[in-house]
A and B are shown apart, each in its own frame.
Chain A
Amino acid sequence: MRCRAQSRRVRARSPAGLLAAWTVLALAAGPSGLAADPAQDQSPPPPATTRQVGQPKDSQPTWWSLRPLRRPSIPESDGAGSGLRNPVDAFIRARLRAEGLGPSPEAGRRTLIRRVHFDLLGLPPAPEAVDAFEADPDPRAYEKLVDRLLSSPQYGERWARHWLDVVHYGDTHGYDKDKPRPNAWPYRDYVIRALNQDKPYGRFIQEQIAGDVLFPDTEDGKVALGFIAAGPWDLIGHAEVPESKVDGQIARLLDRDDMVANTFNTFCSLTIQCARCHNHKFDPVTQDDYYRLQAVFAALDRTDLAYDTDRAVGDQRKSLEARKRGAAAARKELEAQITRAGGKELEGLDKQIAEAKKAGKEGARPEFGWHSAIEAAADTVKWVQVDLGEPVAIASVIYVGCHDDFNNIGAGFGFPPRFRIEASDDAGFQKDVTVLEDQTAVDLPNPGVTPRRIEVGGKRARFVRMTATKLATRQNDYIFALAELSVLDADGKNVALGAPVTALDSIEAPPRWGRQNLVDGYYYGLKPKTPPAALAALEDQRRQLVSRVVDAGVVQRLEAAKREAEAATAELAKLPAPKLVYAGAVHYGEGAFAGTGPSGGKPRPIFVLSRGDVRHPGKEVSPGTVPFIPDTPSAFDLPPEGGESARRAALVRWLTDPRNPLTWRSIVNRVWQYHFGRGLVDSPNDFGHMGQQPSHPELLDWLAVEFRDGGQSLKQLHRLLLTSASYRQASTADTGRKPGRRAEVIDADNRLLWRMNRRKLEAEALRDTVLAVAGKLDLTPGGPAFQDFVIDKPDHSPHYEYDRHDPEDAKTHRRSIYRFLVRSQPQPFMTALDCADPSMSVERRCETLSPLQALALLNDKLIVAMSKHFAARVEGMAATPRDRVIAAFRLALARSPTPAEARALASYAKEHGLANACRVILNLNEFSFVD
């Protein structure tokens, strides 16, 4: 209270702005952990030298988080038998001693194994593992357990979730329309992989900001850039509004703001974004610094970045794309030359030609064909079939692709590159299936709207089915569409005409899309309209005009440029498809969302905006950062034509500089928080003046230095913290004893760690545990996210309909880290359990208890379905209700029930069924809380 009230007063009073706020606040800085007890206030940091913005050389920052990192000495222990296990305990105990407090006894082994399992894996221990650990005579049994868990692949899945909370990762764009982002997941998998490999933290940072620059030959160097694009993206503000408009500039300003904020909140625990509109009120960040950081990202957009895992292919692609772009540029230039030379006459002629072409197109009918539902992954299998009513001797099958200008695709829209065509008398195609054509092994070049014909030779069958095994790319998503499927009998009659059509799924959007369009006898280009004579004449006229106004050489060069572009395109088509990751990268687009690619990836000029208003640009700034490293200016020393990648590389050098006072403190504090339930600094995203002060500043610095200088290994840090006596304490306050009572009075919220904190399971850990105890958890790692919803209206604003999802769908029984995260329509069950909001950086989960949460855990269809599976599982494990309850308890709570518990649940199970008893177990407080 006190700290907050003071800061407000200071803000209101500080006419000199930044400088005044800085010094006054340093004096007024509030208490550390024991905020409500003024007697426990730490002395404020010494006022020392007044610090000027811009950091004069001889000044020393007064604020704790900006002081240079120095390794503090480890406090003296209080003698033998004190139970210290490592230096962490020395720091914790010293502070407890100072308050006249002592630690709690070590927790029992059953408690420890459950605690450390959830902490490191987010999953419960198997009953056998609990038994073995309890029986292990090795005094180092616990250390062995920690090592075993740290090497489990589930460790990365658990801890990646923490990281994704902070970087606000999601699988849709958010904002208006909230379209899926099907290539976001490779970044999520990268984080899991990096954690499991124990990638040094500095390298982890470098890859996420500038992996493509610093490690150009690695896959991780590309997919890690998903960090920059992890946050939401305003599709309409970019795709429908060009940068020439105010609204377009605002959208891009906010987009870069998210990139800058994400970088600084995540790696430096600094809320830099306030400086978008004014110099930071509380921290020494000027508007210039802030816009220098915007300049670092000024060439980038959020886009699908294509990359090759084979370097040779990548080089080839790069050179072909350069050729294509060169040809396109030449063509553009030559055409402009012709346009200029042709003057009004050519302009008029072009208009007439366009009109004639349009008139020709209007002959096309609106029934495009049949269209499947839209998928996020290409490898989804889809089928469509016709029912001929009775077995027919089939002479041939003809099928034709669609034509739709959507996304400039045109001919062959939705035509799957891999598929097979089969005939059968079984509508389900389970038996007596004859394969008519198999194109499932390699990609078929898109045939456009040219009909394809299979000679069948009189095979009799009632049903003909086409199954796509690899879907066609639409935009950022995948479909299967077909204009016509004809089945000819021996007389050449199309017996499929008007026949019933069924499909795995289908979009009914008449007149263009519908199942019956597949057998309506019409497809695009059925009777290709020969260009009307008028059009041909106009085009002739144009050729003559052009040859009159420019040299023959110009026309020849134009033709050559066209051929060159075509050749490069054809060569590119021969290369294996690149992989895609949604990342921060130079975007090559057209129209409103062109990106900087077409102009050579040159960073956009960045101006300091008065009050953050794009209509009031001030001076232009060069790339740079905040001046928090002594003797390092905020502007980067880069050659003016260094290109955008040099900017990101420079930022990464600054972020990972051993002298950076924020980076190392930030990460050890985050790790500490996830283990102990609260950070040493209780505002993990904000180490500034409006954040908290550390409860144990020396411990924080000691850990930061140890970590920085000891290989930057997160696993090593986990090991250190988890094997400390402080972590191994019991979580229950023994208030019957005098020390316990005293601790409750002095430090009720346990800032000083005189006991361990009891953990409430996060949404993901809880859901995964429910699946695990029910025996349904699928531990398949990686790949596209599972979707526990059905997408309706994918074309415009997708509706993500969770109520239509079947909880028995085994594809969705994977770990929650692999769940598809929709920004606009959050999953109701997970939201009730306080899962992170992917639209904002979540430094720490909110923890609520509400009737809506109780209702979710009682009634959500997943809980109800898994209660049944849980019951079936323990039914197979034991014979009597009592033994089944014991088995269920051991699975869910890592212990046997007390006689009273067993009695209550067994009699309830007898009367109302075991599934209901299992549902009660999933709702126990002990299921949600870990001691």
Chain B
Amino acid sequence: MSREKHTDINLDGVADSREGWASQLGLVLAMAGNAVGLGNFLRFPAIAARNGGGAFMIPYFISLLLLGIPLMWIEWGIGRHGGKYGYSTSPGMFQTLWRHPLAKYLGALGVFIPLAFVIFYTYIESWTLGYAVLSFTGQMPSIEGQSPQQAFSTMGNFLGAYHGTNNGWPVSGSVMSWIFLAITLFANIYIISRGISGGIEKVAKIGMPLLILFAVIVGIRVLSLPGAMGGMAFVWNPDFSQLTNGATWLAAAGQIFFTLSLGTGSIETYASYLKENDDIVLTGLATSSMNEFCEVILGGSIAIPAATAFFGAGAATAIANAGTFNLGFQTMPAVFSTVPAGFIFGGIWFTLLFFAGITSSLALSQPAMAFLQDELKLSRQRAALIVGSIIFVAVVPIVLFLQHGYLDEFDFWSGEFLLLVFALIETILFFWIFGGRKAFNEIKKGQQINLPGFFYPIMKYVVPTLISVILIKGTIDSLIPRMFSKRWVDAAGFSKATAGVGERLMYEFGLAGRTLVNNTDITSYETTLRWVARFEMIALCALVMAMTGIAWKKYGRGRLAKEADAA
């Protein structure tokens, strides 16, 4: 596999001097770094606890077997197959699977989605860096003498001050949050500008072992707290009645989908740097196992047990329902403030979250980087500068309108909904248009362990069916209420009875009236801002599609797939 700078001859006879991975272990760690993120440590334990505890592991592992691992192999297969023709991103990869002009534009989603994702993810990642520095330097607020509830409130106010959401202004963003955002963005851009083996792989080789070491240290400290085993009981004691609930099975399938970073387009890009006969079956399985280790064993032993030890078992449900950010940025700092040398453990906790975040954000940035380098023939440094500039410009409104749902809107579309859409498209293209048997044999090429034949029907039938079910459920539960539950009544006096033509038009386009998002009745001001966020994403998507069209016309990138056919 060693080919830091390989020069293969493509099927069109053109020398392919794209970069590559220096070692199989480096690839596994980089892929695992892509998958392991904040969700492993904050989302999984809360979801498990809410959906039957130990019994949740039954649908969880079944989903891993029927959806997670097969879909991951599909993405690896598409990536390595596209890489064979010199494509590093999904526009070209999809063109090799489906000879239709539309294919490249569907593939453009695989560049747009990770780019939109990394825009808001970088900001969240910067919070972990900021909190790590504040913890290590003892700058976190003191909660001495406070009850757990008061401590939680203190940490909430501190988080609000960090975000600048409680400054009384219509826009948020504190000086400190801007500084750490700039540092985080610079670190990301610097690393991706160093390339695959010289940047991403090196960071993964250092970051992933450190992440695991830090998680073990924090986990041992947490489990030694009095009452922490109550949290373990909350996470693991089985409630079998939940197994007859369809929502539990969907929650398990959704968690598996998101924890493996499926549908982002980043797995395909990483896999494209493999040679045609490099193994993907074992390597993909190793990546999944590492992710499950971080999620189930480490993630399940830290946040909920710590929170339960601090707040008491009676508050466990409230903690699990309070959400990822509350658990990570309010509950955990409060817990560490009460233990001896807590500033060190708090610092370690946020550093491990930062490592989890940066290895994921690098993977999310790489499709855009590879697209600019390979399809638009830009140098690596120039591509990194452009990606960094796009992220910076696009993240500004997210920082400024954080409290008005701007980040939530990016998260919903690029971090949840579109991932499912993209995963469904790629599965259909690979197994139904390219050909099921061809696709299955493509995945098996160079396998170091045998891929059992029963995975063929799973990949062809079960995977697209499961994705469709999750997608339909997500549409009914989240998309429709978010987009269409408009109401005329408004605190500002906006009502159907008094509305003029202009107001009626604004209402119809969702720019006025009230909307129900995440069970919260939001104002027309926030509705408008959410539409601005949606338009920002649409503009970004249009830009990527336009650049895809340019690459195909100006640089003849579509030629590779056609000549591959002839070959």
Report whether chain A binds chain B: no
